[in-house]
Chain A
Amino acid sequence: MNKKKNRLGPGVRLSITLLAVVGIASLLAPLLAPYGPNEMGPAINHAPSADHLFGTDSMGRDLLSRILYGGRASLCIGLMAAAISTGIAMVYGSISGMSRRWVDRGLMGFADLMLSVPQILIVVFLQAVFGKSGYLSLALSIGVTGWMAMARIIRNEVRRIRETDYVTAARMMGGSFGYILRKHLLPGFLPAVLYAAVSSIGAAMMTEATLSFMGLGLPVAEVSWGSLLSDSQNALLSGSWWIILIPGIVLIGTLIAIAALGEQVRKGNTRLHSNL
């Protein structure tokens, strides 16, 4: 229990390294990838070998190259969606937290209502409305459906902070809503939000992967880690385990690393000793 607070544990260090590697590799995909993402070769359904480190799929495309290029889409959409939902949550939660009781109730009621439909269903709905889509619209539909829980956290924090004397003082001196938000609320709820924001990157990536897996995400020509797995029905039939396992492990590894990072951000403030 008596961990030193300032030192990063090995798990966190590993996560940061992994994320850095994945991030840089995706960024440099055109330089690093041995083949093009949609380049078809003669080797079909080949198991991992020296030529194709991660093997090839049913159309002879190199899996390593596809994973590198796919990382761009997955990470990019994850980050964009998380940014969108964090932004909405911050504004919405702050407004709700600063408003009168009945406005607050109405706003939180609406957030609860949005929470009552599973996110995946709303995203699927939005995707059907948007039609086949690019990075931005996909990030948008994931982002605008994923802010509710975070907004509630922020709202609770704002409610707590607004009762403090320094906020009262700022209001007395005529500080505007924007000023109080920037100067007093933001620093106050940032620690709580940071954890939620980091986890929302992982959640968004998972949603993107699920959508692309089902064929409701990016168009076929665009590769993401999820769309790589949408090919898996064929792979199941032909028993090509690498087509399923390797992209999956990359995806899960990244998600776990993000979760570990989020866990690190959250600070535990429980009492150390049990009475039991």
Chain B
Amino acid sequence: MNSRIENRKNPGIRRSRVGAAAGGLVRGLFLLLVLSLVVFFLARACPGDPLRSWYGDGVDRLSAAQKETMRRNLGLDRSLWMQYGLWLRNLFQGSLGISLKYKRPVTAVLGSVAGNTAILGLLAYVMTFLPAFRIGSSCALKEGSRKDRRLSRIAVVTGNIPSFFLGLLLILFFAVKIRLFPTGGAYSYGMAHSLPDRIWHLVLPCAVLVLEHVGYYGLMVRNLLVEETRKDYVLLHKSQGIPREKILRKYCMKNILPGMIPAMTMAVPHILGGTYVVEMVFGYPGLGTLAFESALYKDFNVLMAVTLLTGALVIFCNMLGEVLSAAIDPRMRDDAADFREVDYE
């Protein structure tokens, strides 16, 4: 309500694109801070000695006095809030502690596998949305046809197969029975830098992720398009003699983008979560495998780091989505919340 009044009062004053982006950045950083707070207190709520989780098993060989000094260094003798502050300071200095299981700094452990997850996740994301747009539009074009009705059914089925099970099925068939693809891993022994080998290992995990999500997003594209075809401009274009396919692919498609971008940003945590599970099933060395192993071994430093990293990535993608939305759709801009009512320039 307030913003509308302000807009009316000063229609000339507009925040610049840069200003809006900076605002988004500040908000993103704030969200990250809250996330780190939640993660920190969750991890501290768990049973176990924080000293051990920070320095590893080496703690056992220390004298009581040494332990006391270390405790003080980590601030464990102070209040939880002070501890959080210290933890945050360490975080900004690039230190997330030692991994209990791997006996290495957490950042090094993370760095060694984050790339693998990025490759798999990104590939799955692209391979999901390219066909999703294609499938959705071809179904919307033939709305009500047998093919169209089949899509929603297939989407319901594929969306309800747990990805770990789909992974198992694919392994059972393609890796065990006909031995076309490897059962897991990111590369064959000693072939870490061979591109064909890596692609060969990526096929099955990626297929699981794509099969899992493509129906759902295809259906989403289809539903948005179908809704779009009810609008009057479609009738106008039709009366102008523009072919149906062109109306759909050129005009309707453009108009559903503002609806699709939030869905595509929401897809990031979904597909990323799926990636983590799939990594686990295929024994693919990535953040997901790392996270689940850390949970089993109660390696909280790693778990915290993976959670924070994931949250940061998703928050960044959300911001990107907002910027994209604002760029293609003026109604989405912060300063034009009441675009329709106020002015058309």
Give me the interface of A with B, judged by CB distance under 8 Å.
Answer: 1, 101, 109-110, 112-113, 115-122, 124-129, 131, 202, 206, 209-210, 213-216, 229, 232, 236, 239, 241, 244-245, 248, 251-252, 255-256, 258-260, 263, 270-271, 273-276
Using A113-B31, A118-B310, A126-B42 as known contacts, say yes or no to A214 and B143 having CB atoms under 8 A apart.
no
Any chain A CB within 8 A of the CB of B126? Answer: no
Among A115, A245, A276, max chain B CB count under 10 A is at A276
Choose one: A210, A216, A239; the contact of B162 (CB below 8 Å).
Answer: A210
How far apart are A102's CB and chain B's nearest CB, in angstroms?
10
B249 to chain A, nearest CB (A): 12
Which of B5-13, B300-308, B334-342 participates in binding chain A?
A: B300-308
CB pair B230–A236 under 8 Å, yes or no, is: no
Cβ of A276 and Cβ of B303 under 8 Å apart? Answer: no
| A-B CB proximity, top 8 nearest | A118-B273, A128-B295, A116-B314, A255-B160, A276-B229, A129-B46, A275-B235, A275-B234
Question: Most B CB atoms within 10 A — which of A121, A122, A210?
Answer: A121
A-B contact count (CB 8 A): 150
CA distance A41 to B325 in the complex (A): 62
In whole angstroms, how far apart are the Cα atoms of A258 and B162 in the complex? Answer: 14
What would 4 more interface pairs be, CB under 8 Å, given A124-B303, A210-B164?
A115-B269, A121-B306, A216-B292, A270-B230
Tell me the chain B residues, 60-115 only, with Cβ under 8 Å from chain A. Answer: none
| A126 vs B39: C-alpha distance when bound (angstroms) | 10
A and B contact pairs by CB, cutoff 8 A, 28 listed: A112-B31, A115-B266, A116-B318, A117-B311, A118-B269, A121-B307, A124-B295, A125-B43, A125-B303, A125-B307, A127-B295, A128-B46, A128-B295, A128-B298, A129-B45, A202-B160, A209-B162, A210-B164, A216-B292, A236-B168, A244-B169, A248-B165, A256-B160, A271-B230, A274-B226, A275-B229, A275-B231, A275-B238
> B315 at the A/B interface (Cβ < 8 Å)?
yes
- Partner of B164 from A121, A229, A239, A260 at Cβ < 8 Å: A229
Considering only CB atoms, which chain A residue lies closest to B316 in the complex? A116
How far is B143's CA from A1's CA once the two chains are assembled, in angstroms?
Answer: 10
A258 vs B159: C-alpha distance when bound (angstroms)? 12
User: B18-57 vs A: 1/0 string, CB under 8 Å?
Assistant: 0000000000000100110001001101110000000000
Is the CB–CB distance between B169 and A131 below 8 Å? no
Q: Please report which residues of chain B, range 223-263, place their CB below 8 angstroms from some CB of chain A when the two chains form the complex.
A: 226-227, 229-232, 234-235, 238, 244, 247-248
Q: Is the CB of B172 within 8 A of A206?
A: no
Q: Let me know if B209 is at the binding interface, CB within 8 A.
A: no
B276 partner, pick from A101, A121, A209, beta carbons under 8 A: A121
Does B204 belong to the interface (CB within 8 Å)?
Answer: no
User: Cα distance A120–B306 when bound, in Å?
Assistant: 12
Report B240 CB to chain A, min CB distance, Å. Answer: 13
**B168 A229 Cβ-Cβ under 8 A:** yes
- B139 on the A face (CB < 8 A): no
Pick the residue among A210, A241, A244, A256 that contacts B277 (CB under 8 A).
A210
Chain A residues with CB below 8 A from B42, complex form:
125-126, 129
Q: A109-B31, A124-B292, A125-B42 are known contacts. Are A270 and B311 too (CB-CB below 8 A)?
A: no
Could you tell me if B270 and A118 are in contact, using CB atoms closer than 8 angstroms? Answer: yes
The interface residues of chain B lying within 8 Å CB-to-CB of A131 are 47
Q: Please tell me if the beta carbons of A117 and B269 are within 8 angstroms of each other in the complex.
A: yes
From B141, B292, B294, B307, A122 is in contact (CB under 8 Å) with B307
Q: How far in angstroms is the closest Cβ of chain A from B99?
A: 14
Q: How far is the CA of A276 from the CA of B228 in the complex (A)?
A: 9
Contact between chains at A248 and B168 (CB < 8 Å): yes
Q: How far is the CB of A266 from chain B (nearest CB, A)?
A: 12
Partner of A239, one of B143, B159, B176, B277: B176
**A229 near B230 (CB under 8 angstroms)?**
no
Nearest CB of chain A from residue B144's CB, rounded to whole Å = 6
Whole-angstrom CA separation of A127 from B269 in the bound complex = 19
**Least CB distance, A199 to chain B, in whole angstroms:** 10
Give Cα distance in the complex from A213 to B280, angstroms.
Answer: 10
If A121-B310, A229-B165, A229-B168 touch, whether A214 touches B269 (CB-CB below 8 Å) is no
| CB of A116, distance to nearest CB on chain B (Å) | 4
State in angstroms the CA–CA spacing of A127 and B296 once bound together.
9
In angstroms, Cα B30 to Cα A109, docked, is: 11
Q: Check: B291 CB closer than 8 A to any chain A CB.
A: yes
Could you tell me if A120 and B160 are in contact, using CB atoms closer than 8 angstroms? no
Contact indicator A121/B143 (Cβ below 8 Å):
no
Given the contacts A248-B165, A252-B165, A275-B238, A125 and B295 also touching, CB distance less than 8 Å: yes
Complex alpha-carbon distance, A209 and B318, angstroms: 29
Q: Is B168 a contact partner of A232 (Cβ separation < 8 A)?
A: yes
CB-defined contacts of A259 to chain B, threshold 8 Å: 156, 159-160
- How far does the alpha carbon of A263 sit from the alpha carbon of B39 in the complex, in Å? 36
Report whether A274 and B230 are in contact in the complex, using a CB–CB cutoff of 8 Å.
yes
CA distance A105 to B183 in the complex (A): 47
Which residue of the partner chain A has the closest CB to B297? Answer: A128
> Contact at A256–B315, with CB atoms within 8 Å?
no
In the complex, which residues of chain A have a beta carbon less than 8 angstroms from the beta carbon of B35?
113, 116-117
B269 surroundings in chain A (CB, below 8 A): 115-118
- Judge whether B118 is part of the interface by a CB distance below 8 angstroms: no
- How long is the Cα–Cα vector from A136 to B307 in the complex, in angstroms? 24
Whether B277 contacts A128 by the Cβ 8 Å rule is no
Within the assembled complex, what's the spacing in Å between the Cα atoms of A252 and B127? 24
Give the residues in chain A near B307, CB-CB below 8 Å.
117, 121-122, 125
Of A1, A120, A215, the most chain B CB neighbours within 10 A belong to: A120
Min C-beta distance of A132 to chain B, whole Å: 10
**Chain B hits for A245, CB < 8 A:** 169
* Distance from A71 Cβ to chain B, minimum over Cβ atoms (Å): 15
B327 at the interface (CB under 8 A from A): no
